[in-house]
Structure formats: C-alpha cells, structure tokens
Amino acid sequence: MTAAIVGWAHSPFGKLSGETVESLIVKVATEALADAGIEPRDVDEIVLGHFNAGFSAQDFTASLVLQASPDLRFKRALRVENACATGSAAVHQGIKAIEAKAARIVLAVGVEQMTTTPPAEIGKNLLKASYVRDEAEIEGGFAGVFGKIAGLYFQKYGDQSDALALIAAKNHKNGVGNPFAQMRKDLGYDFCRNESEKNPYVAGPLKRTDCSLVSDGAAAVVLADVETALKLGKAVAFRAAEHVQDFLPMAKRDILRFEGCALGWQRALANSGLALDDLSFVETHDCFTIAELIEYEAMGLTPEGEGARAIKEGWTQKDGKLPVNPSGGLKAKGHPIGATGVSMHALTAMQLTGTARDIQVKNAVIGGIFNMGGAAVANYVSILERIK
C-alpha cells in the first residue's frame, strides 16, 4: 500500500441549475480538503478529471481547481481524460505521483456538466468516445453501441431481458438511500421489465430503464502517502490500483468478452493477495444494464454467458454474497462523465468508514471498484481497505 484516501466530497448528481463546471469543482475541492483536515497549502499536486468533449465552452480546466483557495496557486495541476473512466484516471494518476514520491498529498477532482447541452449534441459528444471512423454513425449514440452489444449477447446466450430488468430494479432500489443520487425512486421489476410509454425501447433490446442518466455533478478525494495518512483522522488504503487499456475499435475485439475488465480484475486481485470472495461489495460501471451483466462474468463472479445467474439468485443484491452497486450505480446515481470514477472512490471510502448512511453495506471491510471508458476500452480496477 503506497497511497490512501484521507478525505472526500460529493455533490448531488442530476440537473444542477445555477451551477457551472467551475462552481462544482470549487465546492467539492474545498469540502474534500476540509474533510481530510488538510490545508490547501499542503497539497503537492492537483489532478482534474474532466471529459468535456464539447459539453462545456470552457476547456483547459485544470487551473479552475485553484479557484478553491489562493493557497493552491502555483501548485502542479493537470487535467486527464479517459472517456467515462476519466474520474478513475484522475485518482490513479494521483496514486502514481505518490508512488513515485513526487507528491505526498494529491487532490483529485472529477466533474462534468452535461444537462445544459441540447439532447442531440449530448449523443454526438458521447460518441466521440467511440472509434469515430467506424462507429460514429451507429444509431442511438452510445445507447446504440450497447444496444448492439446486448443484441449480440442475446443471440449467443438467449434473451436476457429478465436479468437486465432485475439489475435495473436492484440499482434503483439501492439508489433510494443515496442522498447524492439523481433518481431516488424504487421503480420495481415490473416497470423495468415491460415496455411502456414511460419506458420505451431505446436501442436494440435496451429500454430507458437500462440506460444511465445524463447528469451534472462533481466529486473529490484527497490522497496521501500511507505514512501521512496514518497521522490523519481516517485512511482508506489502496490494496490495488490497476489500469488496462484495450483497442478502441470494437471490430478488433470480441465485444461480448470485456477482456480488459477481466484482466484488470485478475491483476488487482493477484496484487492485493485477495480473492473475489474477500470483497464486501463492488461498485461497478453500469452505464447500461448489459454492461453490469457482462462485468459479473469479467470479474469472475460467473462463467461467460452465465451472468444472469448472479442477479437471478440474488448474489448481487445489497444483502447478497457480493453486493454490487449499493450506491444505485450509474443507473440511479447518474453518470456525469468526469465525476463518475471519483464518485465511486468517494462512496467506497464512505462504505469502509461506516459513513454511507442508508446505502451502508453491513460489515464492509474491503471494497472493489470497476470504472470503464468506452465499451471496455479504458478499464480501471481499485481495491480499497480501511487502515485507520
């Protein structure tokens, strides 16, 4: 263990009228430092995760974090981007600075403002995270990409509509207890399973309840080396932090096997000396319900093609043998692109310090995180454990 999370902050996710990218950054940066008991002058490096891709007129946003305090002036600051895994890219970049002994304390922030963009432009912006040369014309934007994946999965393994509806219903039920979630409503299995005026098909076999939400929001974590962390009020250490990047074109991969995700989990578990059974819960990237289903298989919970078993037998429910997305996931919580990975780390730290309130998993000791960019292109796995 070389780094630990020592403080965090999380804005509500949703349509945040009156907020800007700058105001969201400043709010969570200020709150995270206060939560850690760290003075801004003691920060060595700042990493901002911000996808943007046209959502905000203001690009070159790394220095906006400095607006949180005059004492952040002249600190090293950079912005990172790795599609929907941008937030985890920021966190992992901070860990690398600490591992290299180039920093003792790092402030990692993730942000996105999406709802001020017209709906047609939202789809175009998100498709910039696909292989534009081949995939930009897929109908339905990224929902179309995952609708295609779902259709192929159904062809190979049979209709999984029941399993997808169970995943959606689980995550919406969990999201009711999350004060930061965009949608805090238990929709129920029947609503998620059946096509209706309020739940139409969006792309392929995916209905509206199978798709994550367009969101504004921000989150921040303060990272410190372990020696420093143990002198502070709380410390949630990284047992593992793995990043696996795959080919961008879907045509170059078996898209039904999230191989980068699987390799990330294999490396993280091996390096941490843990097995999947040792985890108390997992926060995984359910941008679409089909993604969560395939991720069950990639993390090793079930063999390939049998992911439905995990949800149908209740394994991934909040009281199951491996709760998945006790926060409500992207499905209920929302998915502001640059903030998502940082949110996952902040919420996992809350779980492990017993401060997750109504989404608390009983006796949570070790938490796993999987955050991905594109269709399993950028794959980040973190395994966290409280050490103070």
Q: Which residues form the domain of 99?
A: 3-117+214-229
Question: By the 8 A CB rule, do 376 and 261 touch?
Answer: yes
Is 31 a domain residue? yes
Burial class, 319, CB count within 10 angstroms (exposed 0-12 / middle 13-18 / buried 19+): exposed
Residue 143 falls inside a structural domain: no
Express each pLDDT in 234-284 by its tens digit: 999 999 999 999 999 999 999 999 999 999 999 999 999 999 999 999 999
Q: Is residue 67 part of a domain?
A: yes
Run of H or E including 350: helix 337-352
Residues 6+ apart with CB under 8 A from 207: 192, 195, 199, 200, 201
The conformation of residue 132, written as its DSSP 8-state character, comes to H
**pLDDT value of residue 139:** 81
Average model confidence (pLDDT) across the chain: 97
pLDDT band with cut points at 50, 70 and 90 for residue 336: very high
172: closest CA among 162, 160, 163, 181?
181
Asked if residue 380 belongs to a domain, the reply is no
Query: Which residue's entry shows tokens 């139409």?
Result: 200
Q: How does DSSP classify residue 361? A: P
pTM, full prediction: 0.98
pLDDT tens, position by position, 99-128: 999 999 999 999 999 999 998 899 889 988
Structure tokens at 366: 């070790």
**Residue 140 confidence (pLDDT) above 80:** no
Report, as an integer, the average pLDDT of 123-143. Answer: 87
Confirm if 32 and 339 have CB atoms less than 8 A apart: no
Q: What is the pLDDT of residue 354?
A: 98
Phi, psi at 360, each rounded to 5°: -60, 130
Question: Is the model more confident about 120 or about 362?
Answer: 362
Which CATH number characterizes residue 38's domain? 3.40.47.10
pLDDT of residue 135: 87
Decide if 26 is inside a domain. yes
Q: Exposure of 163 by Cβ count < 10 A (0-12 exposed, 13-18 middle, 19+ buried)?
A: buried
The answer as to whether 53 is a domain residue is yes
Pairwise CA distance, residues 20 & 40, whole Å: 22
Q: Tell me, yes or no, whether 72 lies in a domain.
A: yes
Q: At what angle do helices 141-157 and 289-298 cross, to 10 degrees?
A: 50
Residue 217 pLDDT = 98
Q: How many domains does the chain have?
A: 1
Residue 1: pLDDT band (50, 70, 90) is confident
CA angle, 148 as apex, 117 and 213 as ends, to 5°? 30
Answer yes or no: is 95 within a domain: yes
In the DSSP assignment, the letter for residue 360 is P
- C-alpha to C-alpha distances, 282 to 95, 315, 322, nearest whole angstrom: 20, 12, 7
